[in-house]
Amino acid sequence: MALTYTAIATVTVGSGGASTMEFTSIPATYTDLVIKISARDGRPTNKSNYIEIQFNNSTSTYNILDAGGTGSAAYASTNDLGSNKPYAYGNAAGSTASTFGNSEIYIPNYAGSSAKSMSIDSVTENNGTEARAVVSAAYWSGTSAITSIKLTSYGGNSFVQYTNATLYGIKNTV
């Protein structure tokens, strides 16, 4: 079975920065969704920062399981996030200048009527300490089709210029 990726929308942050990037009016015509992110924010003291993921502006229960490394240590964690959101990672202002972290979020069966799962693969870039490589499995308890996705820079920071995210629809073809 072949998979076809179709770019649905791209958001690129302009010169003033932005605290969120959002995809709205997502059509239910695909089997799965993928978001590819290249991100950096203005958090001054950190090398990496969270990118919160929220579906349909919902505060329904989210859960996440992480496994990753920081360059000096490996870790694993399980979090019942409650109304907090799952996250990907991007670079922050404390990392090497002009570098961006990259993430991919895969959401299967996004238009179905059951709870939604997702996998998140993130890496940050840094020529010093605290570069991250993290894989996550996350879960949203909402049962409605995903029609909007909001990506928010954690802690009130703004994504810097040229941060971008592209949403792809995936169709299984025979």
- The pLDDT score that the predictor gives to residue 54 is 93
- Residue identified by tokens 């090398």 is 47
Domain that holds residue 18: 2-173
Q: What is the mean pLDDT of residues 67-91?
A: 80
Q: Residue 160's closest CA among 1, 15, 2?
A: 15
Cβ within 8 Å of residue 73, ≥6 positions away: none
| 8 Å CB contact between 168 and 33 | yes
Cβ within 8 Å of residue 36, ≥6 positions away: 102, 103, 104, 165, 166, 168
What digits encode the pLDDT tens for the residues 90-100? 998 888 889 99
What digits encode the pLDDT tens for the residues 100-153? 999 999 999 999 999 999 999 999 988 766 788 889 999 898 999 999 999 999
Q: State yes or no: pLDDT of 83 exceeds 70.
A: no
- CA 28 to CA 31: how far, in whole Å? 8
Domain containing residue 59: CATH number: 2.60.120
Which stretch of 64-68, 77-81, 117-121 has the lowest confidence by average pLDDT? 77-81
Q: Which two tokens stand for residue 141?
A: 């308890």
pTM assigned to the model: 0.92
Structural domains of the chain, count: 1
- Residue identified by tokens 């978001």 is 35
| 8 Å CB contact between 109 and 146 | no
